Amino acid sequence: MPIGPSIREQAADIGRVLMQGLGRSTNRQDFFRLLAEGLRGCFPFDRLCINIYDQEDEILTYFTAVEGTVARTLSPIRPADLSQTVAGRVIASRKPVIITDFPSQFPQGPHPIAEAGLSATMAFPLMLDDAIIATLHCSFQKEPKNLYEITNLLLELSPTVAVCVGAVFSLENFRREEHDFRMQPLAGEIICHSHVMRDIVRQADVAAKLNVPVLLLGETGTGKSLLAHYIHNASPRNKGRFVKVNCPSLPQTLFESELFGHVRGAFTGAVQKRAGRFELAHEGTLFLDEIGELTSEMQSKLLMVLEDSSFERLGDSTPLSVDVRIVAATNIAMDEALASGKFRRDLFYRLGACTLEMPPLRHRKEDIPLLAAAFAKDASRKMGMPAVKFAPAHMALLRSHDWPGNVRELLNAVVRISMKAALEKRMTLDMVERALQENGKYASPGSTGGGGVSSVDGGNRAASVTAGRLQDVERAHIRRVLERTGGVISGPRGAAAILGIPRTTLQHRMRKLGIDDVPNQKK
């Protein structure tokens, strides 16, 4: 790439193309495609993306699908964390950030960009009216020799890109009345920030590439169905169908007909030939949800098909072969089910070569702020009401709950809170506590939490938070977490990470609340 005035000329040329494109279409995908094509005409890159920054919630989300290499373990919605995200560093410094050595810059663990095989990345703030609305990222498998020239080009182009992104938002909001486009995860993506869930996504990504059955274990409501969809979408079979079978809904008399199909006249009411779920999933994925609820006889018939890779339609004697990838899920305690004979060992050996266990929400509480914010935005879009904003004290209540119903219970609570806040036109701590208590009525007798509010470390039930002012509750909660961490604020085990907020946000809240007497306080 030539240097000097030609960089300005190239940036100006790309900018004119982007502006002209907005005159024809304000679709995000069309705009991003024009940007990617313009940059590829100047230099090769391996990954390009724009992260939208929600300043109020301090959360990042994708503007649209990434161009090029996909970082599988990078959540589509994540906090703008200075210690864990490149965008967080850009936002904190308000300056471009260039990284060519990920291990030295992110020593706490493998960074998702590096895990994707990229060795260098650069990120630029996109600003309007002196506020950062987004960050522009360009990454490379191998550090380019003309890194300096590329940096200058993107520096020159960034203001135009910022104006275009702002124009897209303005036109979107003009066309739709009460919609917020900043936090819409892409279809099939898993929202997570915790290390335990990022490990699960890594394992799922590897499993997706292998043509072997996958068995998903975990409590009810942890997201096994979503993970099954993710595995299908990340696999070579993603062009084929994803066919779901809800095993508990299959009566034993219709089991063979539903899974294997039937011919006309096979039984009373069979007026025409029907393809079964195995046929429908040919060259795709068959998801057997709650497979632990199948009877022993049903398990035996399923095992025969898996071993022979063929079956016969009910009422027919002609064997059929299909190419199907099985993903099964269950919330039963597999060890106990195998010991008691409820689940056949031979079927487990056939399905369980690759086993993933979804962690309960109480073991991934770092994800609660992201999930709650995403659920609130989704409820807003679907129900046509303003999205609720969770203040730190509200979020402290959500994080202190044990969530026996896991992510599904959190979704239910957020919808309850959203509806109540819309009716009363205000958001209170009492609404959050009532939603948790309502959910607690339906918790299973032996579940932890029981819908109550527990201490951060799972000890005694916390005192009622309805008394006192919101700031008092927030101050007390932050003090407890700081005492638990020995005054450590930053780092993966610091108070900011436990609270699920950036370090700078925690320090700001501490100053505002007058928290300055924590023993052994460390930054």
pLDDT at 50: 95
Split at pLDDT 50, 70, 90, the class of 518 is low
pLDDT at 266: 59
Neighbouring-strand partners of residue 394: none
Please list, in sequence order, all residues whose beta carbon lies within 8 angstroms of the beta carbon of residue 6, skipping any fewer than 6 positions away: none
pLDDT at 472: 67
Cα–Cα dist 333/329, whole Å: 12
pLDDT at 522: 54
The mean-pLDDT minimum among 38-47, 174-183, 385-394 falls in 174-183
Whether 91 and 53 have beta carbons less than 8 Å apart is answered as yes
> Helical H runs in 401-486?
406-424, 429-440, 470-484
Cα–Cα dist 235/207, whole Å: 8
pLDDT at 265: 60
| Cβ count within 10 A of residue 69 | 18
CATH number belonging to domain 195-361: 3.40.50.300
Across 80-220, the runs of DSSP E, i.e. the strands, are 97-99, 120-128, 131-140, 214-217
Spacing of C-alpha 519 from chain mean position? 36
SS3 157: helix
Per-residue CA distances from 383 to 108, 179, 379, 492 (Å): 41, 11, 6, 37
pLDDT at 469: 45
SS3 61: strand
Structural element, H or E, at residue 326? strand 324-330
The mean-pLDDT minimum among 58-72, 215-229, 259-273, 424-438 falls in 259-273
The pLDDT of residue 27 is above 70: yes
Place of tokens 């979020």: 395
Please list, in sequence order, all residues whose beta carbon lies within 8 angstroms of the beta carbon of residue 57, skipping any fewer than 6 positions away: 183, 373, 389
Share of the chain above pLDDT 90, in %: 38
Each domain of the chain, given as residue ranges in start order, spans 5-175, 195-361, 364-467, 469-523
Closest CA to 475 of 392, 415, 409, 399: 392
Statement: the pTM of the whole predicted model exceeds 0.85:
no
Cα–Cα dist 189/307, whole Å: 32
Same fold, 5-175 and 195-361: no
Question: Can you read off the two tokens belonging to residue 482?
Answer: 């700081």
> Helical H runs in 276-367?
277-280, 296-308, 334-340, 345-351
Q: In CATH terms, is domain 5-175 a member of 3.20.20.70?
A: no
Tens digit of pLDDT for each residue in 366-382?
899 889 988 888 888 77
Per-residue CA distances from 267 to 166, 273, 277, 297, 336 (Å): 62, 11, 18, 20, 37
Determine the average pLDDT of the residues in 273-298.
88
Tens digit of pLDDT for each residue in 417-452?
988 888 888 888 888 888 888 776 655 443 433 333
Burial class (CB in 10 A: 0-12, 13-18, 19+), 341: exposed
pLDDT at 382: 79
Burial class (CB in 10 A: 0-12, 13-18, 19+), 105: middle
Structural element, H or E, at residue 392? helix 392-400
More confident residue, 174 or 213: 213
CATH number belonging to domain 364-467: 1.10.8.60
CA torsion 460-462-464-466 (nearest 10°) is -160
Cα–Cα dist 216/352, whole Å: 9
SS3 222: coil
Whether 195 and 380 have beta carbons less than 8 Å apart is answered as no
Cα–Cα dist 234/72, whole Å: 9
Most confident of 44-48, 62-66, 302-306, 410-414: 44-48
